[in-house]
Amino acid sequence: MKFDQFYQGTLILSGSMSTGQDVAAAQMMGADLAYMGTRFINTQESRANPEYKQMIIDSAAADITYTPKVSGIWANFLKPSLEMAGLDPESGEKKKVDLGEELQAPEGGASAWKSIWSAGHGVGSISDAPSTAELVDRMVNEYHTAADQFAAQAELFKRSAS
């Protein structure tokens, strides 16, 4: 069944997208919009902890673990932040820390969401924390470059098909 036979609404694609090329690819696949989460944690305007931003820069997809053990709700977390909080990232089992029902951090009383950090599998393609304006400008350029490349590829496909 073709997609538009059962859904006519706006289609938004998300997950692991970090560049303008990713947005162009999403559109090529039929998405109306692309949505990025993790990429914008690493901007100057983001109020995320600087250590959180650095961990995103230093991490790859293998450093992300999907677990319900932190809050009871399945979510992706940075393994190094689980380790810092005394949790075993492999089992997700609590080793020496009781986060408690209130999600209190092990030390200092900050909320666990502030000391145990979420991120998506696209962290491997994030290597900086620029201003939002700089990031968006970069993405616009990447988008146009990708669109030109896709158009050139489409020409090749048309020629080989005819």
Ligand X SMILES: Cc1cc2nc3c(=O)[nH]c(=O)nc-3n(C[C@H](O)[C@H](O)[C@H](O)COP(=O)(O)O)c2cc1C
Contacts with ligand X by CB under 6 A lie at: 14-17, 35-39, 41, 120, 122
| Nearest approach, Cβ of residue 46 and ligand X (Å) | 9
Q: Of 78 and 85, which CB lies nearer to ligand X in the complex structure? A: 78
Q: Of 15 and 80, which CB lies nearer to ligand X in the complex structure? A: 15
Cα–Cα distance measured from residue 110 to residue 95, given in angstroms and rounded to the nearest whole number: 19
Reduce the DSSP state of residue 87 to 3 states and report it: strand
DSSP state of 73: S
Q: Of 16 and 88, which CB lies nearer to ligand X in the complex structure? A: 16
Cα–Cα distance measured from residue 143 to residue 151, given in angstroms and rounded to the nearest whole number: 12
| Nearest approach, Cβ of residue 94 and ligand X (Å) | 22
| Nearest approach, Cβ of residue 98 and ligand X (Å) | 23
Of the candidates 73, 86, 84, 78, which has an alpha carbon nearest to the alpha carbon of residue 59?
A: 78
Q: Of 39 and 69, which CB lies nearer to ligand X in the complex structure? A: 39
Cα–Cα distance measured from residue 34 to residue 142, given in angstroms and rounded to the nearest whole number: 14
Sorted by sequence, the CB contacts under 8 Å of residue 72 that are 6+ apart come out as none
| Nearest approach, Cβ of residue 123 and ligand X (Å) | 8
